[in-house]
Amino acid sequence: MAGAPTTHRVLVCPQEFKGSLTAVEAARALAEGVRAVLGPDAALRELPLGDGGPGTVDACLAATEGERQRVVVDGPLGAPREAQYALLRGADGVSAVIESAAACGLVLVAPADRRPGVATTSGVGQLIADAAGRGARRIVVGVGGTGTNDGGTGAAAALGLRLLDRRGEAIPPGALGLARLASVAPPEGRALEGVELRVAVDVTNPLLGAEGATAIYGPQKGVRDWQAPAFDAALEGWARVIERDLGVALAELPGAGAGGGLPVGLLAAAHAGGGSGAIESGAELVADLAGLDAAVEAADLVVTGEGSIDAQTAYGKTVGHVAQRAAAAGRPCLAVGGLVSGRPNGVLDTEASAPAGVSTEAAMALGAPPVRAAAERVVRRWVAAR
């Protein structure tokens, strides 16, 4: 094709377009748009990515030879449901990738049925225990997309941590049960012995206060304004008891407020159960698991994307992270977003897929065709500018 570049090695590596396309579907749509410009002989590699939220497991399985595990766990309101995670076997042992949203996701409960006071992360702990029982010693837990605000107490209890009231009995599940918390005791078993928990987040909010789990994310989970102080106080008491009884301070850690405070319960359980844990960038963790650096080095052009590219994209989101790695390798990076209101450092050009005059909801319902067309437009501009 006249004007096309002489090299055609293109890495297509988006995350999901939330509510519209999975990361795998987005990669396919972008690749079709790229190929429409560069022709059928272009060497395209599709590498779906994620940041710890929904779609992370599928992205990791698409990039590796992992196994999909299916487990029946407690759902957000306690009813059993099937959840999936990825088990990865490598030369350095067995790892697992878990999406908390698979067990306690916001989308699993209809808006009218959301009960943030009793919603529990118990199923997340059950997934972790299952992975550890299968030999996983490095477990990535993405905490995005949860419908819970329990500080990870359900997950911690499922992993053996004993959350007790003044009579020495287990407290009820959910954030409201925390009002009865008097003490925390280490697990009697050692389900996490030697296990490294890598808690994947895409935000840096602390557990408490004006920027904390309840204030920022509680409303979308059903927390009313008048309930928020009680929820925050319950989480504050949880953090205080952990520090007193287990000797570890967690509330102020960047990202502790992600997933309704889920990292706090996970790190407490790991600390008390003979394992280790840390909060990390979900985009970085998934990129490393997928081998992003090597894929970028092998490409002449990187094309990424997500549902919304804005001022927050550079802070922990996949597109911003891809752009950083592309810039470090000296590779041009283009990005497609459903909506675009900013351009992260390292991105050469952007293109919005949402048609002008169409509502966000209507644009999301259009699926792959607008994303494919946007990729074609932005790649044509890149070709013309070379």
pLDDT digits (tens, 9 = 90+) for 50-92: 888 888 898 888 878 889 999 999 999 999 999 999 999 877 8
- The answer to whether the predicted template modeling score (pTM) of the entire model surpasses 0.95 is no
**Does residue 352 carry a pLDDT above 50?**
yes
Residue 4 is predicted with a pLDDT of 46
pLDDT digits (tens, 9 = 90+) for 127-185: 999 999 999 999 999 998 899 999 999 999 999 999 999 999 999 999 888 989 999 99
Question: What are the backbone dihedrals phi and psi of residue 120, each rounded to the nearest 5 degrees, phi first?
Answer: -130, 150
Mean pLDDT over the full length of the chain: 91
pLDDT digits (tens, 9 = 90+) for 283-307: 888 898 888 999 999 999 999 999 8
Q: What is the mean pLDDT of residues 106-116?
A: 91
CA distance 278 to 263: 9
Residue scoring higher pLDDT (354 or 231): 231
**Does residue 237 carry a pLDDT above 90?**
yes
Cβ neighbours of 167 (radius 10 Å): 7
CB-side neighbour CA atoms (13 Å) of 284:
13
Range ranked top by mean pLDDT from 11-20, 118-127, 170-179: 118-127
Structural domains in the chain, CATH included, are 9-47+291-385 (3.40.50.10350), 56-283 (3.90.1510.10)
Alpha helices by DSSP H, listed for the chain, are: 23-38, 56-63, 101-104, 122-133, 153-158, 228-246, 262-272, 282-290, 292-297, 318-328, 360-365, 368-385
Least confident of 68-77, 78-87, 318-327, 349-358: 349-358
User: What are the structure tokens assigned to 235, written together?
Assistant: 């989480």
CA distance 177 to 179: 5
> At a CB cut-off of 8 Å and minimum separation 6, what does 164 contact?
170, 171, 181, 182, 183, 184, 185
Q: What is the mean pLDDT of residues 108-127?
A: 94
At 5, the pLDDT band (50, 70, 90 cuts) reads very low
Burial class (CB in 10 A: 0-12, 13-18, 19+), 196: middle
CA distance 174 to 180: 11
Q: Which residue's entry shows tokens 């779906």? A: 48
- Closest C-alpha to 302, from 345, 348, 239: 348
Dihedral Cα 281, 284, 289, 291, nearest 10 deg: 180
